[in-house]
Amino acid sequence: MRGGMGNMQKMMKQMQKMQKDMQKAQEELAVKTIEGTAGGGMVTVIVNGQKEIIEVKIKEDVVDPEDIEMLQDLVLAATNDALKKIDELTNETMGRFTQGMNMPGLF
């Protein structure tokens, strides 16, 4: 019976370590930046790990008043590309903590 308590304490320590490791990984992700592009590099959007748009870059030869709708579509596509990439990075980074575990709703 005593061995069961030791196992429980060991498991609790492992869970606390995993929680600290996950928090550290989330902090590391928050400072990373991801770049999304559209239109063959004509529009670039940079997003941080908290999914905030940091910068939008538009090449000078793109800015033609007649093509404003195309420009808006390119910015939208580049933004979505960057957000998709940060989701992939987050899943890849945080997945090492949840491998083999069933934790619905955690991420």
Cα separation, 104 vs 39, whole angstroms: 37
Two structure tokens written together for 12: 């609790």
> Model confidence over 2-29: pLDDT tens digits?
567 778 888 889 989 998 998 998 888 8
For the four alpha carbons of 99, 100, 101 and 105, in that order, the dihedral sign comes to positive
- What pLDDT score was predicted for residue 35? 92
Q: Output the furthest CA–CA distance in the chain (Å, rounded).
A: 79
Bridge partners, residue 2, by sequence:
none
Give residue-wise pLDDT tens across range 31-76.
Answer: 889 999 988 998 888 888 888 888 888 887 877 777 878 887 888 8
Nearest-angstrom CA–CA distance, 32 and 34? 7
**Domains of the chain from N-terminus onward:** 2-97 (3.30.1310.10)
